[in-house]
Chain A
Amino acid sequence: MVFSSLIFLYFFLPLNLILYYVSGNLVYRNILLTLFSFFFYAWGEPVWIVLLLFSALFDYGNGILIEKLNNKSKAKLVVAFSVIVNIGLLVAFKYSGFLYDNLSLLINLPFARPEVTLPIGISFYTFQTISYTIDVYRGDVKAQRNPMNFLLFVSLYHQLVAGPIVRYKTIADEINGRKFQWNDFSSGIGRFSLGLFKKIVIADAAGSLVDNYLITNFDLLTSPTAWFGLSMFAIQIYFDFSGYSDMAIGLGRMFGFHYNENFKNPYAANSITDFWRRWHISLSTFFRDYVYIPLGGNKVGKRRMYYNIFIVWALTGFWHGASWNFMLWGLYFAMILLIEKRVLLSIYSKIPIIFRYTITLVFIVFGWSLFYFEDLSKWSTFCSNLFNFSSNQILAFSFDLRQNIYWFTLVILLCIPWDELPYFTKRWEVLAGNQIILTSKIVLHILILIICTSLLVGSSYHPFLYFRF
């Protein structure tokens, strides 16, 4: 199931809320949330529930085992075992086709290509359980004794299928001790509405434009239209992904959980280093804490540090999909990071700040081309289109620009980091408690709900071109 669907908004969520708040006891509430999470997951993939259960119970056991073993080196073995099994699952279900394709280029494989479908959310929940066992081993958090509670952490539908990667220690206390506050619920609704708006009004609309430029008219693209199409993809992916995170965070609040932020105005980054502090934060901090720092981070020699950076970014890229282009996408950022450290940062200090933001944005947007085209030969054709300045005028481009000009303005407004500008934050603090502001918020959230519902219903409107009589 996805959040941006009628079945979720007008069936799953209200039912879940009512039953949850009718049952007063937190134990019942947790069981109820787990059951709903299973139902949520089963809606798309009933069979893979088994895998989810296995993954949860396996690391539930590992956590307790690690804690019970006084011997550090034995505990380390358990952690290693846990990591290997989890990564093994990920490799088996996500990367086996990729590995097969590449190995068969080198040697003749005696078996057929494994055709496994990717279980939804596996990339997220395996990382969550890995972080749990490592954190228990490091002593950052106590192992969870109650299997039901641990199952709730792993399967919680808010973040199960599309992140953020919530670490156990973030919500450990809230599993058994969260309190209801109207304030939380109310702010949760606000956050959920924002996410819904981002997903349905911005991302989906951008997506239909992307299809026009990067799929259907691909061979006719000229430089401006190619950049336009790519920018639409940049808009789509950011608003889609961050919208989903917003909805997850908002849903969490409605039920009393507080998850960490996953995006912070990424397109307002002033360098690629900065970009990765703002983009998919739960993933980049995962790799920072569990790969980069254990490898020595930047407290090692220059050469070793560069090596660490390349490892981390190749993995980050590869996590996004089982294809070379994703790895290249990661390495592309590693390369820019190095160039930034060595050259660009000193140049940036000498030029007007606006160029710094622009250059960073161009790097990011160009990077999305690597992310978009899984077929690298297609990608190289596309790149030649990006720099093809012939005057092949395309009707759709001017049409799309004009027809979406207000929408476009809205997108830009939503990319501006208002919450980082002191001028606005100060004024906002003064206004936040204002009755009128609060009332208009209520109206706004309901309005967003109506808008999103209309667009969802509207997308199910398929009149027949050729009617029968």
Chain B
Amino acid sequence: MHNLKVIHVLAYSGILTLGMLSFVFSKKEKESILEKRKLQENPIITLKSFLDGSWMLKYEKFMDDHFPWRSSFVDIAFQLNELKGIKNPNNARLITKTKDKKIDEKKIDLNKAARDINYLINAESASSKGLLIIAGRAFQVFGGTRASVKSYVDVVNEYRKILPDHVRVFNCIVPTGSSFIFVKEYDYLRDKEFKNIDDAYSLSSPNVINVPAKEAIVAHQDEYIYFASDHHWTARGAYYAYTAYCQASGLKATPLNKMTRKVKRNFLGTLYNLTKDESIKKNIDSVEYFIPSVSTDVKVFAEFASGGNSYGVFLGGDKAHLKIKTSVKNGKSVVVIKNSFGNPFSTFLINNYETVHVVDYRYFDSGLLRLIKNEEIDDVIFFHNVFSANTLSHSERQRIIKNPVSTENSSEKKTNEKKMETKKTNKNSKLELNDENSDSDTTN
């Protein structure tokens, strides 16, 4: 009996010590492929960073990120969470977002946020109320309101007011996959998203042209228009939004069969990585893309994209500003203001414009009005899914890039979005990301 207690003590403290030693002596990776992010580096200690406690915070994060056998422990954690209860009908389950507390607690202004891409990305799904997994597909549960979408539409209206009359402004908001679950219990999710889009369009000023994308998508709702494992949508879904856009802007949509169809197989996207759900894994996606016959000066499709990165085939991922010259010699030019949801959509526009500018408002920071003026843009499209249209920090960001106080005159074409120094300090830019939901809920 006494011996067992000695074993108890030695085994337990032995494991703790072993953990310590393997952390100290393990090889430290720089990036996580699975999480698609840079891991925390070993922070350098200075008197200042020690006294204000920031070194400790970083060091803890460093340890979290480089803990020995990290991926195995993460897998165990996911499996443990499955053990907490029983599955729902249709194998549905709801995963409420694991919030990054460190971000939550801090009140941050957007200039700081723009510098740290983590904040923006975190905010991307701020209007999401969790993940619903059902029948091998994952969906984000929408939580936006009329008030939260209004702050976005206000920004579009502001642009409309400032821009000269000959520039057309389009507002295009598309639903997400959770509008297309087709299980009666969750029909209310569709109602919520659709109502929000209708609200947004009714708030647009009369001179803004609303794109009736959701109607066009609904007409093809039985097709493969949303991924099961990713929060983005397929090029096919984007194509129907494109047809709606053509209709609204008086263009002739190029039929799908006039383009070259290609497919990338074995795509497990972000929602799978977030949930590690086996049923989704069985339902593995593929990324279909359509190459227009029009020739372009820059590559529009990054055909080397593969596996979990396959969605990057469209425009090669998110760039602050991409300018595409096409062989359509009609003198027309368009700018799409978008996040990654707009990438496949943008690829279709090269069928109809001589110049296509694609601006990712999250990374672009050199003055949108100036771009529109200098490049003599004819059409401006604000392209959003219903989540990002309801995310306050994103609306605010689009307002800020309208006319930054001081802009650099060097190269606008920034392909490296990591270099995101914001030079302007805008009074309006103060924003508490964590208050987004409560803001929109109470001001309604």
- Residues in chain A within 8 A of chain B (CB atoms): 1, 5-7, 9-11, 13-15, 17-18, 43-47, 182-183, 185-186, 189, 205, 208-209, 211-212, 216-219, 395-396, 398-408, 433, 435, 438-439, 441-442, 445-446, 449-451, 453-469
| B78 cross-chain contacts in A, Cβ below 8 A | 458
A460 to B130, CA, bound (A): 18
Assuming the A-B contacts A182-B2, A404-B85, A446-B12, are A460 and B93 also in contact, with contact meaning beta carbons closer than 8 angstroms in the complex?
Answer: no
A459 to B101, CA, bound (A): 10
Cα(A211)–Cα(B270), bound, Å: 24
Closest to B4 in A: A438
**With an 8 A cutoff between CB atoms, is B17 at the interface?**
yes
Of A17, A217, A400, A464, most B-chain CB atoms within 10 Å: A464
List chain A residues, Cβ under 8 A from B129. 216-217, 396
Q: How far is the CB of A6 from chain B (nearest CB, A)?
A: 5
Binds A, one of B66-74, B329-337, B367-375: B66-74
B73 touches A464 (CB 8 A): no
User: Nearest chain B CB to A400's CB is how many angstroms away?
Assistant: 7
User: B312 contacts which chain A residues (CB < 8 A)?
Assistant: 467, 469
Can you list 5 residue pairs at the A/B interface with Cβ under 8 Å? A7-B63, A15-B20, A18-B13, A189-B12, A459-B98
Closest to A464 in B: B36
B340-A45 in contact (CB<8A):
no
Asked whether A6 lies within 8 Å of B98 as measured between CB atoms, the reply is no
Q: Please tell me if B64 contacts chain A, counting CB pairs below 8 Å.
A: yes
Alpha-carbon distance A417/B17, docked complex (angstroms): 35
Q: Which of B53-61, B160-168, B213-221, B244-252 contacts A (4 or more CB under 8 A)?
A: B53-61
B143 touches A6 (CB 8 A): no
The answer to whether B16 and A402 have CB atoms under 8 Å apart is no
Most chain B CB inside 10 Å of its own CB: which residue of A6, A396, A463, A466: A466
Given contacts A455-B77, A463-B36, A467-B317, contact A186 B84 (CB under 8 A): no
A406 to B6, CA, bound (A): 34
Contacts of B61 in A (CB 8 A): 460
Which of A186, A219, A408, A458 has the most C-beta atoms of chain B within 10 angstroms of its own C-beta?
Answer: A458
Say if the beta carbon of B294 comes within 8 Å of chain A.
no
Partner pick for B60 among A7, A182, A208, A216, CB 8 A cutoff: A7
Contact A442 B56 (CB under 8 A): no
Given A208-B98, A461-B77, CB of A14 within 8 Å of CB of B20: yes
Q: Given A219-B441, A455-B77, A9 and B6 touching (CB < 8 A)?
A: no
- Judging by beta carbons under 8 Å apart, are A451 and B340 in contact? no
With A14-B16, A442-B8 known as contacts, the answer to whether A469 contacts B77 (CB < 8 A) is: no
The reply to whether B19 and A10 form a contact with Cβ atoms under 8 Å apart is yes
Number of chain B residues close to chain A: CB under 8 A: 78
Say if the beta carbon of B106 comes within 8 Å of chain A: no
**Is the pair A44, B56 in contact by a Cβ cutoff of 8 Å?**
yes
Knowing A216-B129, A441-B8, the reply to whether A457 touches B74 (Cβ < 8 A) is yes
Give me the 7 closest cross-chain CB pairs, A-B, nearest first.
Answer: A458-B77, A469-B317, A469-B312, A460-B64, A10-B19, A457-B73, A454-B76
Residue of B2, B84, B273, B417 contacting most chain A CB atoms (<10 Å):
B84
Given known A-B contacts A442-B4, A467-B36, A10 and B23 have beta carbons under 8 A apart = yes
A219-B35 Cα distance, complex, nearest whole Å? 34
Q: How far is the CB of B208 from chain A (nearest CB, A)?
A: 26
Does B429 touch A at the CB level, under 8 Å? no
Q: A212-B96, A461-B35 are in contact. Are A438 and B318 (CB under 8 A)?
A: no
Q: Does B258 contact A (CB under 8 A)?
A: no
- In the bound complex, CA of A460 to CA of B66 (Å): 10
Min CB distance, A379 to chain B, in Å?
Answer: 16
Q: B88 in the interface, Cβ–Cβ < 8 Å?
A: yes
A330 to chain B, nearest CB (A): 27
CA distance A14 to B13 in the complex (A): 7
Docked pose: A85 CA to B186 CA in angstroms: 61
A439 to B311: give the CA distance in the assembly, Å: 52
Q: Is the CB of A461 within 8 A of B74?
A: yes
B99 x A211 contact (CB < 8 A): yes
Given the contacts A396-B130, A405-B85, A457-B70, A466 and B1 also touching, CB distance less than 8 Å: no
CB neighbors of A among B1-35 (8 A) = 1-2, 4-9, 11-13, 15-17, 19-20, 23, 34-35
For chain B, residues 300 to 317, give those with C-beta under 8 angstroms from any C-beta of chain A. 302, 305, 309, 311-312, 316-317
- When chains A and B are docked, how far (Å) is the Cα of A414 from the Cα of B143? 35
A47 to B50, CA, bound (A): 10
Most chain-B CB neighbours within 10 Å: which of A7, A189, A398, A455? Answer: A7
Q: Which residue of B lies closest to A6 (CB)?
A: B63
B231 within 8 A of A: yes
Q: Which of B5, B85, B121, B339 contacts A407 (CB 8 A)?
A: B85
Set of chain B residues within 8 Å of A467, measured between Cβ atoms: 36, 270, 309, 311-312, 317
Chain A hits for B305, CB < 8 A: 469
> Closest residue to B19 on the A side, CB-wise?
A10
Write out the residue numbers on chain A whose beta carbons fall within 8 Å of the beta carbon of B85: 401-408
Q: Determine the residue in chain A with the shortest Cβ distance to B340.
A: A466
State whether the Cβ of B222 lies closer than 8 Å to any Cβ in chain A. no
Partner of B274, one of A6, A15, A463: A463
Shortest distance in angstroms between B82's beta carbon and chain A's nearest beta carbon? Answer: 9
Which residue of the partner chain A has the closest CB to B99? A211
Distance in Å from the Cβ of A183 to the closest Cβ of chain B? 6
- Chain B residues within 8 Å of A445, by CB: 8, 12
| Contacts known (A402-B86, A446-B15, A460-B65); A183 close to B76, Cβ less than 8 A | no
In the complex, whether B125 has a CB less than 8 A from a CB of chain A is yes
Query: Any chain A CB within 8 A of the CB of B297?
Result: no
| Contact with A185, one of B9, B23, B35, B273 (Cβ below 8 angstroms) | B9
Asked if A435 and B4 sit within 8 Å, CB to CB, the answer is yes
**Chain B residues positioned under 8 Å from A439 (CB to CB):** 4
- Complex: how many Å from CA A296 to CA B318? 73
Give Cα A20–Cα B257 distance, bound, in whole angstroms.
75
Among candidates A189, A218, A458, residue contacting B74 with C-beta atoms closer than 8 Å: A458
Distance in angstroms from A37 CB to nearest chain B CB is 16
A43 to B317: give the CA distance in the assembly, Å.
40
Does B51 belong to the interface (CB within 8 Å)?
Answer: yes
Separation of A276 and B53 alpha carbons in the complex (Å):
37
Q: Quick check: A396 and B96 within 8 Å, CB to CB?
A: yes
Question: Inside 8 A of B302's CB, which chain A residues have their CB?
Answer: 469
- Residue B419 at the A interface, CB < 8 A? no
A-chain residues with CB within 8 Å of residue B12 when the two chains form the complex: 189, 442, 445-446, 449
Q: Given A14-B19, A462-B35, A189 and B340 touching (CB < 8 A)?
A: no
- Chain A CB within 8 A of B94 CB: yes
> Complex Cα distance A189/B7, Å?
12
Contact: B50 with A46, CB < 8 Å? yes
Known: A7-B60, A457-B77, A469-B302. A442 touches B11 (CB 8 A): yes
Q: Contact partner of B5 among A7, A182, A464, CB < 8 A?
A: A182
- Cβ–Cβ contact A47 & B37, under 8 A: no
B124 within 8 A of A: yes
Q: Assess the A468–B417 pair: CB atoms within 8 A.
A: yes
Digit string of B400-427 for contact with A (CB within 8 Å is 1, else 0)? 0000000000000000010000000000
> Which residues of B sit under 8 angstroms from A5, Cβ to Cβ?
60
CB contact between A454 and one of B23, B77, B186 (< 8 Å): that residue? B77
**Residue contact A458 to B8, C-beta cutoff 8 Å:** no
Report the nearest A residue to B387, measured CB to CB: A465
Closest-CB distance, B106 to chain A (whole angstroms): 14
What chain B residues lie within 8 Å of A438 (beta carbons)? Answer: 1, 4-5, 8
Please name all residues of chain A whose beta carbon is closer than 8 Å to the beta carbon of B13 when the two chains form the complex: 14, 17-18
Other CB < 8 Å A-B pairs besides A454-B74, A466-B124, 5 of them?
A: A6-B60, A9-B19, A13-B16, A46-B50, A461-B77
